[in-house]
Structure 1
Amino acid sequence: MPKKKIARLLKNPSPANSLHQVLGQSERVKDMVEECADDLSSVNAGLKRELTDGDISPVVENALEKTEAVEGKVQNASKELSLVNMALKEEVHERTILQEKLAAEVKQGDEARHASLHDPLTGLPNRALFNDRLEHGLAHAKRNGVSLVVMFLDLDDFKSINDTHGHDVGDIVLTTIAGRIKQASRDEDTVCRHGGDEFLYMLVEIRSERDSTTIAEKIIAMIEAPCDIRIRDINMSLVIHPSIGIASFPADGITAESLVANADKAMYQAKRNKTGYSLFSDLALSPD
């Protein structure tokens, strides 16, 4: 079943709930019919007692027969309503089970899709989702003649953290840094864990080079705030230094691959020079 149709079914009033309402109405009608049957039975019994000692005229006898016939029909209607209500209850039960299964399958599908497009450690988009959004961002930038920036971010000497303190500490550092980069980003931008201690950051509609460097400086400042870690009864404070490479569309590349590759090159330049960040445009102009 198409996902949109499933979503509509879940969003709209439940068929099981609608049937449940019908069942409630039918139960109330059944109760009214039973009350009518009881009333008719009482009336007929009273009439018979009143007429036992006297002569019964053909008209009265005929009327009594008719009311007894009506009583029988009402009782039969009550029995049929009981059968209908039992069938409705079974239908409500079956539909409720089906709806619960459908909701569980949709949730499972959404979770599987989310897992396939996000990094399991940090929860950030993975490379597949980043590449998809980057392609859409480039298409938008080309149509509207606006700029787009890709930042490639790497954590300096991160391997030593894993070697010295263990991967558990390294994972906490990565999760903390991922949260800080995400916090520094805008809603329309995309932050991705590229792999290991590398992150990618796509910024759309950046107006100037200075805007890019200002954002890079902000990210560096946030990342370099001490990471206070408590694990295995050990407290430690680690200061992480990042290196960021910046490539801009269209000046530094017009494809997703070229922008990521050039931002990567600029990042290594920043790491070598210990400058925090580097622009690919400066690297391209360097005599080296």
Structure 2
Amino acid sequence: MSVLDVTTPAQLTPVWDELITGLTVGVLLTDHRGQVLATNDVAAELLQLDRSDVLTGTRPEDWQARDDTGAPMPDWSELAGQVLRAGSPLSTPMVIVRGGRAQSRLWADYHAVRVQGHSRVLMLLQPVQTDVPHSRGLIDPLTGLPGRILLLDRLEQSLVRARLNGTLATLVLVDVHRLAEFNQQHGFERGDELLTTLAARLREGMSDDRTVARYGGDEFAVIAEHPSGTGEEIAEQIRQTAGWPMRIGRRRVRPGLRVSWVTTDGHATVHSVLARAEQQLQR
């Protein structure tokens, strides 16, 4: 699909409108900061916004965009930056909430494109009529680890097995502390190198029966199943595995990590386990 290089919303032209007329998907063109440069009426309708609000970034007070766990979606600037740095597509589920109630469920595909010499992100929105397809968005493009969707699925399976077998499931969250400051000081390329190195360490340091996933922009997650214990030993093993100094570029770097863990017998929801782990991580 051809797109038009548009630098400001005021420069929308009939050519752009002609390109997307009749499409049944929502289309947005953004710059590297997530600023929407052009869109269509379908996108505005799916987002439960006026087209002018989409272009200007204005959002009603009762409007929210959340992921399928109920957590707030990352800012579009973060998503755009991730797609452009990785150079590969990203797919995420999205729930539009108005007045505290879910109004629409969407599937968002982000594609890095070059338009007249400029880096842009093409965002396609489609309504989710059934369950999110398991063949999309499973793998994080930067690290090659399972992404959030696959993590949620495997956590649910672990909780079910714990309930049925009388065992335990532990979720460990690993936060790369002050990653934004590292990116500002050393550049996003070095930041991505730090994340991929940590991902490789976690994947190699864990046994095959444990799930290692990328939970967010600066967070990893590990799911472990075990017959007894509190999960503290698992969390400490993960901290030691990931916390050794590493060489990034020409620098020797010791990553600053924060680790939290939650152990359950399976009589808990996926959302409650994640929420508890996130709360402990912040404390």
Give the helix-richer structure, 1 or 2. Answer: 1
Q: Tell me which residue corresponds to 1:263.
A: 277
Stretches of structure 1 that go unaligned for 5 or more consecutive residues are: 1-111, 270-288
CA shift, 1:241, in A, is: 1.8
> Is the contact between residue 155 and residue 240 of structure 1 (CA under 8 Å) also seen in structure 2?
yes
Matched pairs, number: 151
Could you give the per-residue CA deviations for residues 209-229 of structure 1, whole angstroms, max 9, x where no partner exists? 2xx222222222222211202
SS of the counterpart of 2:173? strand
CA contact (8 A) 2:260 2:280 kept: yes
Corresponding residue for residue 196 of structure 1: 217
CA distance, structure 2, for counterparts of residue 116 and residue 245 of structure 1: 26
Runs of 5+ in structure 2 lacking a partner? 1-132
What is the Cα deviation at residue 114 of structure 1? 6.4
Quick one: which of 234, 241, 264 aligns to 1:222?
241
1:181 is aligned to 2:195: no
CA deviation profile, 1:152-186 (whole Å, cap 9, x unmatched): 11011111110100000000000001111112222
Q: Which amino acid aligns with 1:136?
A: Q
Structure-to-structure mapping, 1:1-288, within 5 angstroms: 116-209=137-230, 212-230=231-249, 235-250=250-265, 254-269=268-283
Instruction: Give yes or no for contact 1:149–1:206 (8 Å, CA) kept in 2.
Output: no
* Whole-angstrom distance in 2 between the partners of 1:263 and 1:249: 11
State the alpha-carbon separation in 2 of the partners of residues 218 and 164 from structure 1. 29
Larger strand percent: 2
CA 1:192–1:206 in 2, change beyond 3 Å: closer, same or farther? farther
Q: Structure 1 runs of 4+ off > 6 angstroms?
A: 112-115
Indicate the SS of the match to 2:281: helix
* Structure-1 residue corresponding to 2:105: none
Letter in 2 for 1:191: V
Q: Find the structure with the greater CA-based Rg.
A: 1
- Pairwise CA RMSD: 1.9
- Distance in 2 (CA, whole Å) between partners of 1:139 and 1:206 is 14
Could you say what secondary structure the match of 2:137 adopts? helix
The answer to whether the Cα contact below 8 Å between 2:170 and 2:223 also exists between their aligned partners in 1 is: yes
Q: Which moved more, 1:128-137 or 1:212-221?
A: 212-221
Tell me, in whole angstroms, the C-alpha distance in 2 between the residues paired with 1:218 and 1:225.
12
